[in-house]
Amino acid sequence: MSAEVSVTVGDLARALDARGWGELDLKVTGAAEPAATSPVGPNGGVIALAMAPKYAESLQPGSIAILADGMEPQAYGLRAAIFAPRPRLLMAGLTRAFDPGPEIAPGIHPSAVIDPSAEIGEAAAIGPFVVIGAKVRIGRNARIGAHVSIGRGTVIGDDALIHPGARIAHGVTIGLRIIVQSGAVIGGDGFSFVTPEESGIEEIRRTLGARDAIKEQHWTRIHSLGGVEIGDDVEIGANATIDRGTIRATRIGSGTKVDNLVMVAHNVVVGEDCLLCSQVGIAGSSKIGNRVVLAGKVGVSDNIEVGDDVIAGGASKIFTRVPAGRVVLGNPAVKMETQLEIQKAMRRLPRFAQQLAKLQETVTRLLEKG
Amino acid sequence: MSAEVSVTVGDLARALDARGWGELDLKVTGAAEPAATSPVGPNGGVIALAMAPKYAESLQPGSIAILADGMEPQAYGLRAAIFAPRPRLLMAGLTRAFDPGPEIAPGIHPSAVIDPSAEIGEAAAIGPFVVIGAKVRIGRNARIGAHVSIGRGTVIGDDALIHPGARIAHGVTIGLRIIVQSGAVIGGDGFSFVTPEESGIEEIRRTLGARDAIKEQHWTRIHSLGGVEIGDDVEIGANATIDRGTIRATRIGSGTKVDNLVMVAHNVVVGEDCLLCSQVGIAGSSKIGNRVVLAGKVGVSDNIEVGDDVIAGGASKIFTRVPAGRVVLGNPAVKMETQLEIQKAMRRLPRFAQQLAKLQETVTRLLEKG
Amino acid sequence: MSAEVSVTVGDLARALDARGWGELDLKVTGAAEPAATSPVGPNGGVIALAMAPKYAESLQPGSIAILADGMEPQAYGLRAAIFAPRPRLLMAGLTRAFDPGPEIAPGIHPSAVIDPSAEIGEAAAIGPFVVIGAKVRIGRNARIGAHVSIGRGTVIGDDALIHPGARIAHGVTIGLRIIVQSGAVIGGDGFSFVTPEESGIEEIRRTLGARDAIKEQHWTRIHSLGGVEIGDDVEIGANATIDRGTIRATRIGSGTKVDNLVMVAHNVVVGEDCLLCSQVGIAGSSKIGNRVVLAGKVGVSDNIEVGDDVIAGGASKIFTRVPAGRVVLGNPAVKMETQLEIQKAMRRLPRFAQQLAKLQETVTRLLEKG
């Protein structure tokens, strides 16, 4: 990691609300893994992340490190240290301190095409080739990277950071401090089609799989008139897609973080402070509660309700309602402890088959004897 | 939903081929959910979607609604109503009537870079920073959003709608009325590589999993000379990818709809009127019939044939040929009814294990007694 | 396939290091499937790919074909032929010979916005609306398509081919001959968040699913200071995303090929000569060995190690360490042969249930008799 900022160990400790030790006026220029550090020079040095003894073993004498409570800076020959009571939390403050962020020059690049009816807040940084539509409103301190497009009437709150090439369609409303990674598409049309007569999908949902005579039909498009509403402090990952609603808006609650390549379909409502990890897909009109965590590749069927505080393990497929607070796993997703039992039994399944066959033989012999 | 159009109830009913009731000259300005409506004002009002009694309960007296056949407009104090014999189908017409669509100003934006040898049809709307290559031909009434790129020699039929930031490579042929959502990539190179000697993948396909000595080899690229051929009335979702073929074209049949983040690999042939839902992946050279529905996250292995009218449930993984008309589910996908039986048995599996163990004990005791 | 190049059969055979037969001075203008060929005309003709007798049946007399060793060109009335000892390998050379590649005009398009401190190598072709940041260094012969953005300080080696609309963020280092397909995002921020106190995810990892009182907490962002380091001869697919590391770089080794819509998360290390097929997802900090093949839709949990030469079958979900050389399949992934046994047993599971019930009855009767 190379940074363009530098602070003293003492200032950094104060910023992190953590305890400093040693030469607190040494300059810190960035963070690194223990093996990548060297003794502090006249212009300072990087701070090593050594929050457990096994990491601290690679520390260079004369360097600066973050240690867990109880570790001894003298044992590693450090010149200064910061103690982390909750290491992952300290990482948040530390990395924020040294993140130079993407390069978007202050002001509006002359190549940007901004509709005269759009309102751009103070201190905006808008990159080359950005296109902003009619009646768009963007708050203060917006940083908008190259090639971003924002459609008619969309409203974005203060302190937005929109990375190059993100797409925000018309009629989208976004709160404060949004971060949109490159290639994300917010407000694409919902995937909603209908046939003149009952379709095969409607039929098998009614019959649980049985089909009558198959009809040849074409799909007619249901347009998406609803927009997308996103709360405060939301992050949308690279190449993720959040579709617009049919009549009302698709919604993402405040504090929710959406990873790369996630799909949130039309009319979905996601609550607050959720984590939707990479490649999650939520089908149309499903409702996700608050503080829900869906691990990578989790799928949620359409029109399903997932309660508050649910955690779904990696690649779980949710086909039915999940009550609040439940931890689920598997395809189809069931309680995690049930799934782990099922998996154990599955691994023993080939052996079961042998045991059952043998038992049948034995019983047959018993019957013959009897 | 906010619209910029308005029609009378009577005109809307006629456009929807549905029966109107009440004050047919009231103005409709948009559609909304029942709870979001208010009594019609002097400039008209929104029409509520209340196609079942449970939705109609939230209707405001004095408003306008769409009702299912047999529901009583007087019971809800409505001033006008439209009756929907097949509600989802009516939604198609209704939402089309009120969709203002994306904002792409008529004419060709002066910033667009269009090769002089390209032919653009009449009445085209081409947005800022669009790049169109040599010998491209685009039909009439095309609407092409900002930052779209279209490669050399690609041909696109009349009435195309291409949203901002979509990528269409060279040598692609597309029929009438295509809709391409933002970020879709049509005509990327196929993922096709070969090693000098037999690779591990080829070996385990031949041996069903057994491996001889492992060889260290590099991958050599097979280039993609085929293009992509897409029929009429197709829609390609946001950030979906349709790769070009190796020697012949990858093909998507007329009337097929492709959702966000779908992958269609090189040489794949998809038939007509299919639905490929979000995050579906179809591997190289597979062949999908007509009217096939692949639900979200379905995977199809390479070189597989999936027959006409097949429906695959959410997250199914198809490793072998599926005959026409079959409804499949699961990983690996089997007939849906078989899969539901397997799932039921799996949930009872831990109990089976106990029962089997107990039975073994009993039989052992019987044997000892005998 | 239509090509804009033409070579003689003899030259092509030499270029492919293969044996030619017949009229070696005939001109080859492209490649095609046997059914799409016609007799060679005065300006030459396409070469048919007929590497097995079943394909050769559709050959037109008077045409040119690639045959497998041992096939008889006279039997098909060919005027010339090339013999392929390993057909897939020959495809690599053949398709390379006829690939005209994307259209990027030589030189730097006047609309491109290139920071004065950036260094662009000789013979670069840079398309319209490209944005290149401060201190970027790009090697010789770079071909960079329209709308590409490259962030501050990124270094890209010689002979790069970057397709339209790809996104390369700041602080990325890339080796020689990289190919980046459209819409790929290299260097987006990692998905890394922390709560002030232990989160539900941390809790269930510790307790294997059990939860104490649920706390309402917000997520704090851990910034991504590490970049991305990519070796030589790597290809990144359309709309794939490679996130930057937290402190050190995310790494992709030389010779590795990444397909469309793949997710490589922060801090992941992928070895050399791997194939990551479409829609693969690798979660944070996992380590993938050399020559690993992950088939379509494979998922790898975070902090997992996957050894050299591992092959994971389609849609496998890897939750635990996989030793070198193993072939795995399933969710959760186990040895392929074990998985195939489990699947066989699963299909027989409903029958087992019946057999077990029947056996229980029999034994009960035996007991009663006894």
pLDDT of residue B36: 85
pLDDT tens digit string along B351-361? 888 888 888 88
Nearest CB neighbour to B279, from listed A196, A279, A344? A279
> Inter-chain contact C225–A30, Cβ cutoff 8 Å?
yes
Give me the half-sphere count of Cα atoms (radius 13 Å) on the Cβ side of residue C70.
Answer: 6
Tell me how far apart the alpha carbons of residues A367 and C367 are, in angstroms, rounded to a whole number: 11
Chains with at least 3 CB pairs less than 8 angstroms from chain A: B, C
> Inter-chain contact C348–A353, Cβ cutoff 8 Å?
yes
Tell me how far apart the alpha carbons of residues B347 and A338 are, in angstroms, rounded to a whole number: 8
Burial letters B263-293, b for 16+ CB under 10 A, else e: bbbbbbbbbbbbbbbbbbbbbbbbbbbbbbb
pLDDT tens digit string along B269-282? 999 999 999 999 99
Classify strands B228-230 and B263-264 as parallel, antiparallel or unpaired: unpaired
Confidence bin at B1 (pLDDT 50/70/90): very low
Contact residues for B235 (Cβ-Cβ < 8 A; gap 6+): A221, B178, B179, B180, B181, B257, B258
Burial of C14 per CB tally in 10 Å (0-12, 13-18, 19+): middle
Which among B40, B169, B31, B44 is positioned nearest to B92, based on CA atoms?
A: B31
> Inter-chain contact A248–B327, Cβ cutoff 8 Å?
no
> Inter-chain contact C369–A366, Cβ cutoff 8 Å?
no
Chains A, C: CB contacts under 8 A, how many?
Answer: 238
> Inter-chain contact B185–C309, Cβ cutoff 8 Å?
no
The nearest alpha carbon in chain B to A227 belongs to B1
Residue type (1 letter), B20: G
Q: What percent of chain B has pLDDT over 70?
A: 98
pLDDT of residue A4: 52
Across chain C, mean pLDDT equals 93
Nearest CB neighbour to C89, from listed B183, B220, B369? B220
pLDDT digits (tens), chain A, 370 positions: 344 567 899 999 988 889 999 999 999 988 888 988 889 999 899 999 998 899 998 999 999 999 998 999 999 999 999 998 888 888 898 899 888 878 888 999 999 999 999 999 999 999 999 999 999 999 999 999 999 999 999 999 999 999 999 999 999 999 999 999 999 999 999 999 999 888 998 888 888 888 887 888 899 999 999 999 999 999 999 999 999 999 999 999 999 999 999 999 999 999 999 999 999 999 999 999 999 999 999 999 999 999 999 999 999 999 999 999 999 999 999 999 999 999 998 888 888 888 888 888 888 888 887 6
pLDDT of residue A1: 39
Contact residues for A11 (Cβ-Cβ < 8 A; gap 6+): none
Tell me how far apart the alpha carbons of residues B197 and B187 are, in angstroms, rounded to a whole number: 29
pLDDT of residue B2: 41
pLDDT of residue B215: 84
Sort out which chain C residues have CB atoms less than 8 A from A311's CB and list them.
200-201, 204
Phi, psi of C47 (to 5 degrees): -100, 130
Q: Which long-range contacts (CB under 8 A, 24 or more apart) does B282-290 make?
A: B283/C277, B283/C278, B283/C296, B283/C314, B284/B190, B284/B191, B284/B192, B289/B324, B290/A216, B290/B253
Say if residue C3's pLDDT is above 60: no
Tell me how far apart the alpha carbons of residues A328 and A233 are, in angstroms, rounded to a whole number: 27
Tell me how far apart the alpha carbons of residues C94 and C11 are, in angstroms, rounded to a whole number: 11
At A301, list the tokens: 């069927």
DSSP designation for B235: E
Chains B, C: CB contacts under 8 A, how many?
Answer: 241
> Inter-chain contact B185–C238, Cβ cutoff 8 Å?
yes
Q: What percent of chain B has pLDDT over 90?
A: 72
Sort out which chain A residues have CB atoms less than 8 A from B331's CB and list them.
331
Contact residues for A201 (Cβ-Cβ < 8 A; gap 6+): B275, B293, B311
Tell me how far apart the alpha carbons of residues A268 and A242 are, in angstroms, rounded to a whole number: 9
Confidence bin at B225 (pLDDT 50/70/90): very high
Distance between B105 CA and the closest CA of chain C, angstroms? 20
> Inter-chain contact B297–A317, Cβ cutoff 8 Å?
yes
Sort out which chain A residues have CB atoms less than 8 A from C133's CB and list them.
103
Tell me how far apart the alpha carbons of residues B199 and B209 are, in angstroms, rounded to a whole number: 13
pLDDT of residue B329: 97
Say if residue C346's pLDDT is above 50: yes
Distance between B220 CA and the closest CA of chain C, angstroms? 7
Phi, psi of A283 (to 5 degrees): -80, 170
Is C266 part of the annotated catalytic residue set?
Answer: yes
Distance between A58 CA and the closest CA of chain B, angstroms? 33
Confidence bin at C5 (pLDDT 50/70/90): low
Nearest CB neighbour to B275, from listed A134, A167, A219? A219
Spot the catalytic one: C163, C170, C218, C266. C266
DSSP designation for C197: S
Chains with at least 3 CB pairs less than 8 angstroms from chain C: A, B
State the sign of the Cα–Cα–Cα–Cα dihedral A161, A166, A169, A170.
Answer: positive
SS3 C51: coil
Say if residue B3's pLDDT is above 50: no
Sort out which chain A residues have CB atoms less than 8 A from B86's CB and list them.
194, 196-197
pLDDT tens digit string along A221-235? 999 999 999 999 999
> Inter-chain contact A225–B31, Cβ cutoff 8 Å?
yes
pLDDT tens digit string along C19-55? 999 999 999 988 888 988 889 999 899 999 998 899 9
- Check if the beta carbon of residue A224 is closer than 8 Å to that of residue A171: no
Nearest CB neighbour to A279, from listed C218, C221, C263? C263
Mean pLDDT, residues B16-37 taken together: 91
> Inter-chain contact B278–A261, Cβ cutoff 8 Å?
no
Mutation target for C interface from B129, B132, B191, B352: give the one with most C CBs within 10 A: B191
Cα distances (Å, whole numbers) of residue C183 to A104, A182, C236, C242:
20, 9, 10, 12
Nearest CB neighbour to C363, from listed B211, B224, B362? B362
Confidence bin at C4 (pLDDT 50/70/90): low
Mutation target for A interface from C173, C206, C225: give the one with most A CBs within 10 A: C225
> Inter-chain contact A331–B315, Cβ cutoff 8 Å?
yes
The nearest alpha carbon in chain A to C348 belongs to A353
Phi, psi of C25 (to 5 degrees): -95, 5
Mutation target for B interface from C29, C66, C90, C95: give the one with most B CBs within 10 A: C95
SS3 C354: helix
Chains with at least 3 CB pairs less than 8 angstroms from chain B: A, C
Confidence bin at B184 (pLDDT 50/70/90): very high
> Inter-chain contact B1–A225, Cβ cutoff 8 Å?
yes
Tell me how far apart the alpha carbons of residues C322 and C335 are, in angstroms, rounded to a whole number: 9
**Please, what is the Cα angle at C248 between C243 and C254, to 5 degrees?**
70
- Check if the beta carbon of residue B332 is closer than 8 Å to that of residue B313: no
- Check if the beta carbon of residue A111 is closer than 8 Å to that of residue C245: no
Q: Where are the alpha helices (DSSP H) in B108-247?
A: 200-207
Location of structure tokens 């398309």:
C127
pLDDT of residue C174: 98
Q: Is the peptide bond before B332 cis (omega within 30 degrees of 0)?
A: yes
Mean pLDDT, residues C139-165 taken together: 98
- Check if the beta carbon of residue C264 is closer than 8 Å to that of residue C250: yes
> Inter-chain contact C183–B241, Cβ cutoff 8 Å?
yes
Tell me how far apart the alpha carbons of residues B265 and B233 are, in angstroms, rounded to a whole number: 21
State the sign of the Cα–Cα–Cα–Cα dihedral C324, C329, C334, C338.
Answer: negative
Nearest CB neighbour to C220, from listed A89, A165, A293? A89
Classify strands B107-108 and B80-84 as parallel, antiparallel or unpaired: unpaired
Sort out which chain A residues have CB atoms less than 8 A from C127's CB and list them.
none
Chains A, B: CB contacts under 8 A, how many?
Answer: 239
Neighbours of A77 (CB within 10 A): 12
Three-state secondary structure string covering chain A: CCCCCCEEHHHHHHHCCCEEEECCCCEEEEEECHHHCCCCECCEEEEEEECCHHHHCCCCCCCEEEEECCCCHHHHCCCEEEEECCHHHHHHHHHHHHCCCCCCCCEECCCCEECCCCEECCCCEECCCCEECCCCEECCCCEECCCCEECCCCEECCCCEECCCCEECCCEEECCCCEECCCCEEEECCCCEECCCCCHHHHHHHHCCCCCCCCCCCCEECCCCCCEEECCCCEECCCCEEECCCCCCEEECCCCEECCCCEECCCCEECCCCEECCCCEECCCCEECCCCEECCCCEECCCCEECCCCEECCCCEECCCECCCCEEECCCCEEHHHHHHHHHHHHCHHHHHHHHHHHHHHHHHHHHHC
Distance between A363 CA and the closest CA of chain C, angstroms? 7
Least confident of A304-313, B167-176, B212-221, C153-162: B212-221
Nearest CB neighbour to C301, from listed A92, A98, A314? A314
> Inter-chain contact A273–C348, Cβ cutoff 8 Å?
no
The nearest alpha carbon in chain B to C89 belongs to B194
Cα distances (Å, whole numbers) of residue B148 to A144, A149, B25, B182, B232:
19, 11, 42, 9, 20
Q: Which residue has the higher pLDDT, C7 or B249?
A: B249
Sort out which chain B residues have CB atoms less than 8 A from A183's CB and list them.
183, 239
Which among C232, C227, C237 is positioned nearest to C294, based on CA atoms?
A: C237
Question: Please, which residues bridge with residue A30 across strands?
Answer: A46
Tell me how far apart the alpha carbons of residues B161 and B142 are, in angstroms, rounded to a whole number: 6
The nearest alpha carbon in chain A to B36 belongs to A248
Cα distances (Å, whole numbers) of residue A145 to A136, A232, C166, C167:
17, 20, 14, 11
> Inter-chain contact C194–A91, Cβ cutoff 8 Å?
yes
Nearest CB neighbour to B260, from listed A129, A153, A243? A243
pLDDT tens digit string along A13-45? 988 889 999 999 999 988 888 988 889 999 899
Sort out which chain B residues have CB atoms less than 8 A from A219's CB and list them.
255, 257, 273, 275
The nearest alpha carbon in chain C to A100 belongs to C225
Sort out which chain B residues have CB atoms less than 8 A from C127's CB and list them.
131
DSSP designation for C322: B
At A91, list the tokens: 């990482």
Nearest CB neighbour to B185, from listed C30, C49, C183? C183
Tell me how far apart the alpha carbons of residues C191 and A249 are, in angstroms, rounded to a whole number: 26
Active centre residues of A (catalytic): 266
